[in-house]
Amino acid sequence: MHIAAIHNLPKNKEELAGALASALGVTLYEAGARLRVPGNGPIVVAVSGEHKVVEDIADKLHAKGFEAIVVNEDEIETGSSQFIVRKFSLDERELVVESRDG
């Protein structure tokens, strides 16, 4: 799986819906919905099993003025490599963290 994401969006990011719709080949409504998430990114805008597809989308996004990144399959964190915190405490000089596995 490969991902294209946009980041460093301005505060008026909703105004970019037309450009995003054009780059992704989606409706203005779909593009606007993606831009309504809180913050300025990153926002995942495309996912594909083929690297070339995501690279092409990133190129279109760059051409429309977006800061786009491509995240490749080997860069995506899987559930098995996550560190899930069960509890934590603050000692005098350190943070003590216990995972769900103990």
- pLDDT tens, position by position, for the chain (102 residues)? 899 999 999 989 989 999 999 999 999 999 999 999 888 889 999 999 999 999 999 999 999 999 999 998 888 776 666 677 888 888 888 888 888 776
Sign of CA dihedral 5, 7, 11, 16: negative
DSSP 8-state symbol, 99? E
Compute the distance between CA of residue 81 and CA of residue 11 in angstroms, rounded to an integer.
34
Whole-number pLDDT of residue 81: 64
- Residue 26 CA, chain-centre distance (Å), reads 18
**Alpha-helical segments (H) within 36-85:** 51-63
Which of helix, strand or coil describes residue 74?
helix
- Amino acid 93: pLDDT: 85
Would you list the domain boundaries of the chain? 2-76
**CATH tag, 2-76:** 3.30.1390
